[in-house]
Chains A and B, each alone.
Chain A
C-alpha cells in the first residue's frame, strides 16, 4: 500500500476476483444451476434410507456389548 503500483495491483486483482465471481454466478443462473437447488439436498437419501431416519446409531443401546 506504500506505493502507487501496489495499490493499483491490489485494486486490479480485487476487481478481477469480483468479475470472475459475477461471471460465474450469471453463467450458473443462466444454465439453470439453481432451479433444482431444493431437490439436490435430498440426493443422499433413498427409498430405504429416507429423510427422517437416522443411520449409524452404534451407541444407541450402550448396555449391550458388541461382542
Chain B
C-alpha cells in the first residue's frame, strides 16, 4: 500500500510542479503584464476565427524571433514579437511551422486588400509555385452581369472563368480584415519593454 501511495502521489506531485511552473505562474505574470482591456473590432475577431478554421497555423507562424536569433528580422518579417501583439485573441496563433512565411506583420508587409483576395482565391495568381491550397469557398463565382455594383477580382487572364466574375464573401472580407490588422505599428520592443 505504501508503494502504491508513493507511486500515485509522487507521480501526481511531479505533474503539479510543472503545471504550476509552466502554466499557472506564467498566467499570473501575464495577468499583471498584458493589457487587460483589449477591444478588437468584430470583423477582425471573426477573421481570426476563420484563420483558425482553415488551419492557417499549420503552415504560418506568427512569432518573430529576436534580432540575431534566426533571420526573421532580416527577412523583413517584423519586430520581435511580444505578448501584447496578439490582442489576447484565443486560440493563440503562434504556430510552429514555416512552410509559408511568418505573418506577424503581414498587414504592413502586404497592405493590398486585392492582393490578399487573389492570393486566397488561388495562390498561383500572385505567387507562382506556392504550395498554399486555394480557398475557393471564401468566394462567390457569379455571372459577369450579376450584382452590377460589385467589381470582381482582377484575375490574370489564364485564371479567368469566361462570363463569370469572382466576388469575395463576407468571410473572405473578415479574414483579410484580420490579416491586415496584423501590423506591428507599435514602438520598438526595447523602449516598449521598460
Contacts and interface: CB of A to CB of B under 8 A. Distances in A.
A and B touch in the complex (CB under 8 A): yes
A33 B7 CA distance: 11
A24 to B, nearest CB: 5
A8 interface: no
Contacts, number: 16
Given A24-B6, A31-B3, 8 more contacts: A9-B25, A13-B21, A17-B17, A20-B17, A27-B6, A28-B6, A31-B2, A33-B3
Contacts of A27: 6
B125 to A, nearest CB: 45
Contact of A24 (B2, B10, B21): B10
Q: How large is the interface on B (under 10, 10 to 19, 20 to 34, 35 or more residues)?
A: under 10
Interface string B122-147: 00000000000000000000000000
The 5 A-B pairs at the shortest CB distance, nearest first, are namely A31-B2, A24-B10, A13-B21, A28-B6, A27-B6
A41 to B, nearest CB: 16
Nearest to A31: B2
A9 to B, nearest CB: 8
Chain B contact residues: helix, strand, loop or mixed? helix
Nearest to A16: B17
Contacts of A24: 6, 10
A4 B17 CA distance: 22
B14 interface: yes
Interface string A54-66: 0000000000000
Contacts of A31: 2-3, 6
B69 to A, nearest CB: 13
Contacts of A13: 21
Contacts of B2: 31
B96 interface: no
A20 B13 contact: yes
A20 B13 CA distance: 9
Nearest to A21: B14
A34 B2 CA distance: 13
